[in-house]
Amino acid sequence: MTFLSVEQPDGRVSSTSGIAVDFVRDWRQAALRLNAGHRTAFQHGYWLGAWYEAFHGFAPLIALICDAATGEDIAVVPLISHVRRGIRIVEFADLGVSDNNAPILALEAALDAAEMHAIGKALVDALRALPDRFDLLRLKKMPAQVGGKPNPLVSLGRAGACSLNGNLVLTGDDYEAYQASIKRMQMPRCWRVFSRNKGARFEIASDVARARQLLDVMDVQQQARMRKLGSRFVLNDDAHAQFYRDVARQGVVDGYAVISALVCDEGVVATTLGVRHGATYSLLRISHAGESWSSCSPGLLVTERTMAALHAEGVRRFDLSIGNQHYKRRFGAEPVPLTDVSVALSWRGTPYAWRDHAAQGLRRHPRLAALAARAMGKGAR
């Protein structure tokens, strides 16, 4: 099965490799190509449709890659363009809300190393040929595989170059065995403590109205937490609030958007927001009502109860999001490398690509990276 065709693309560049690249700048056209294909939850139509609708000031630039001879689709790459400090940048439609970014691959795509390299080169050549005169291509947080298929755009960079990584828990079919493997977290005891509260229960929102209520509570709880830590909180600004609620509006009923909570008569004690695609669930946000509930570890408990509920529905892969907080190791998560790519599209972008490459190289040498960070006044991280 191939993707549906999109009429009147902005331009096509065919390379000698036999790869053709079209660009469209209207997401509603590009969305027609999402009817089939290998992707992660963050290339789902609900996610990308909500993203392009919510975040303004960034021009959609969606690459449609196909076989130049047959016209059969190979991949769709959801991109944007914008100007920063005078540099015209092309990157994924992300802005930090997605845990990973990738192309959507045609179902029948079976690419060898040479073909993957050709796809990446064709995309770069096509971007350079556009009249926009772009300067820099940045592709961040790319997984090595997309739906079990190799990600062809990783070939543009060095595998694992990203400073972030996924955190994957594979539970297997026996959830009780998994629970036993994390027994030091004492989740059964936490549940018993929480259950002493009148009206205590765990729930997953089954309708849009309840999902919005829980998202409202999540924003308040997370903002309070960030204020206490002295950190800036942006997930409740107009654009982010619209984005998450639009994802919920489209995806709650069919189980794509998973919004769960610990609730008792006193109110909502903890919440999570995640997205599900097939047998994989990606946790995105956690909130809780504060230290007064610490005896039942509400953030950990609501996460574990969500995992248990989804496991009963067939989910076996739980990605606990980017970042390496200690609790993820306690859940048994293993790091999953991601790849960053930076390619200069003009001479103006060359210094920025060099700087990105230097930073990626430093990540392979933590001591040098710490020294460099201190030298720039950022402190060791």
Domains of the chain plus CATH, in order, are: 11-161+338-375 (3.40.630), 172-315 (3.40.630.30)
Q: Which two tokens stand for residue 72?
A: 């059969």
Q: Phi/psi class of residue 26: alpha, beta or left (left: φ > 0; alpha: ψ in -120 to 50)?
A: beta
| Whole-structure pTM value | 0.89
User: 244, 273 in Cβ contact below 8 A?
Assistant: yes
* Cα of 131 vs its chain's centroid, Å: 30
Closest by alpha carbon to 258, among 269, 248, 268, 246? 248
Maximum distance among all Cα pairs of the chain, rounded to whole angstroms: 69
User: 302, 273 in Cβ contact below 8 A?
Assistant: no
* Cα of 85 vs its chain's centroid, Å: 26
> Mind listing the pLDDT tens digit of every residue in the chain (381 residues)?
333 333 344 554 444 468 999 999 999 888 877 667 889 999 999 999 999 999 998 999 999 999 888 888 899 999 999 999 999 999 999 999 999 999 999 877 677 788 889 999 999 999 999 999 999 999 999 999 998 889 999 999 888 889 899 999 999 999 999 999 999 999 999 999 999 999 999 999 999 999 999 999 999 999 999 999 899 999 999 999 999 999 999 999 999 999 999 999 999 999 999 999 999 999 999 999 999 999 999 999 999 999 999 999 999 999 999 988 999 999 999 999 999 999 999 999 999 999 988 887 766 555 555 554 555 454 333
User: 214, 263 in Cβ contact below 8 A?
Assistant: no
Fill in the amino acid letter for 193: V
Give the pLDDT of residue 143: 96
Q: How many CB atoms lie within 10 A of CB 354?
A: 12
Going by their DSSP bridges, the two strands 104-105 and 136-142 should be labelled as unpaired
Q: Which two tokens stand for residue 339?
A: 């790849």
Closest by alpha carbon to 75, among 32, 112, 107? 107
Give the pLDDT of residue 158: 87
55-to-10, 41, 58, 135, 337 alpha-carbon distances in Å: 22, 19, 7, 22, 28
Residues in the chain: 381
H helices of the chain, where? 27-30, 45-54, 113-129, 175-181, 187-195, 208-229, 238-251, 298-311, 326-330, 350-362, 366-375
Residue 25: strand, helix, or coil? coil
- What is the distance between the terminal CA atoms of the chain, rounded to a whole angstrom? 46
